[in-house]
Amino acid sequence: MKIEQVSSKLLQPIYNVTDDQPVPTRKSIPLTVFDKLADDQHIPLLYAYKPPNPSNALLEQGLQKVLPEYREWAGRLGEDEDGEFVILLNDEGMRFIEASADCTLDEAIPFTVSTLLELNSSLEGPMKELALVQLTRFTCGSLVLSFSSNHIVADGVFVSQFMIAWAQACRGLEIHPRPVHERNIFVPRNPCDIKFDHTSVEIAKRKINEDSSMLPYAKDDLACEILHFTPEFIAKIKNKASSSSLTCEDVNGGYSSSYSTFECLVAHLWRVITRVRGLGESDTTYVRISVNGRRRLRPRVPNEYFGNLVLWAFPETQGKNLFDESLSHTAGVIHDAVAKVNDEYFKSFVDFAKKNQHDENLMPKKVADMKVPSMWPNLEVQSWLGFPFNDVDFGVGKPSIFMPSFDPFEGEIYLVPSVVGDGSIDVYVTLFQQHLPLFEQICYNID
């Protein structure tokens, strides 16, 4: 298939200027300690809508109406007079691309890696724009809407809120709830109380393991495998991982007699991929898991907080434990690591970042162009299980597809709620194609 770009332009906010609501005059917003930890790269996601679907003109108008509430997307990264990183609220605009495909959407599915790259132009190279929309029309009338945004500006939790607001604007509704822009809420304690070794975690493990450059694979060997876990299969995994004798502390401080769906699925995938990779019993491996601070901090930060509020858990073990111990044991390793990233841990990191505010390791960084992009021997898991994608309704109903674009890093995993709506989960895994036959053979085996 061929995708041709029809137009590309910058969209600026359209302000509804009144005496009570004048044009905002704020010039910039500082980056928080959590924004600075985010990689300077665009994270794309895709929505597909079968006909009838919204026109490009409607989507463009809705975007310009919603941007006054989300000025950061139309701004640029820069520095203030003190040399501190900021988001410049200059309204230069969000990139808006219109494209057309020479086939039907059904003919293009399943998307190849090259197609996914064409459906989102932000993957072609560095961009000065902080957000990009690409609308690709297929010959059958179907629409693929790709939205990507610079991770420094906001995390995935907030992006899902923005997409709902855009849909509300297209339907002529009031934006609700409105975003929370207060990025000065992360104040270090006085005196600072650093209780954890953040140097060995947030700094040391932020760097990708360069050992992957020694692997006998190439960048062109990367492939994406999509799994569909039915509710029945998920129930089997949870039953195998959980027992009546265990008690797990949950995020709210209560206790549960079973591990979560997320913990069980990640435990299963960790064990399978470790076997597929052929790691040895003495090899150490960890999973990098994003932990949303909105749910952890006390007082709680609302979901509408505009920015990044993520730290990571790093459950770690040796290959022999993944081979010989039970699925319940692996789920427990994951559960315990995630539970440790709590209110006290987040506040300790804020104190740590204040004391080390000039450390270059705590500043935004470009993603390295690696010869062999891989997390080897580790994994990274992005969970979109809580994203309300069904609410991204531009007036014609929910999307027929909701998925990440291709993430060119071996060992990267996305957990996405299936659009089927029956509780099933789609799992997107980037692996080397040499490992796919064995992966496909054992990924649905839980014995």
Is residue 197 part of the annotated active site? The answer reads: no
Structure tokens at 162: 């923005």
Is residue 155 part of the annotated active site? The answer reads: no
How far, in Å, CA of 435 to CA of 314, rounded? 24
DSSP per position, 379-434: EEEEE-TT--GGG--SSS-S-SEEEE-----BTEEEEEE-TT-SS-EEEEEEEEGG
- Phi, psi for residue 17 in degrees, rounded to 5: -80, 125
Query: Residue 306: which residues within 8 A CB-CB, separation 6 or more?
Result: 70, 72, 154, 158, 179, 180, 181, 183
- Phi, psi for residue 65 in degrees, rounded to 5: -75, -35
Question: Measuring CA to CA, which residue among 73, 80, 99 is closest to residue 28?
Answer: 80
Spot the catalytic one: 151, 198, 268, 435: 151
How far, in Å, CA of 21 to CA of 16, rounded? 8
CB 3 within 8 A of CB 119: yes
Measured CA to CA in angstroms, residue 66 lies from 23, 40, 308 at distances of 14, 24, 20
Question: Measuring CA to CA, which residue among 74, 444, 427, 5 is closest to residue 226?
Answer: 427
Query: Residue 259: which residues within 8 A CB-CB, separation 6 or more?
Result: 238, 241, 242, 246, 248, 267, 328, 331, 332, 334, 335
Q: Burial, 428: exposed, middle or buried (Cβ in 10 Å; 0-12, 13-18, 19+)?
A: buried
How far, in Å, CA of 389 to CA of 398, rounded? 8
How far, in Å, CA of 334 to CA of 357, rounded? 30
How many CB atoms lie under 10 A from the CB of residue 187? Answer: 10
Query: Residue 55: which residues within 8 A CB-CB, separation 6 or more?
Result: none
Task: Please list the active-site residues.
Answer: 151, 393
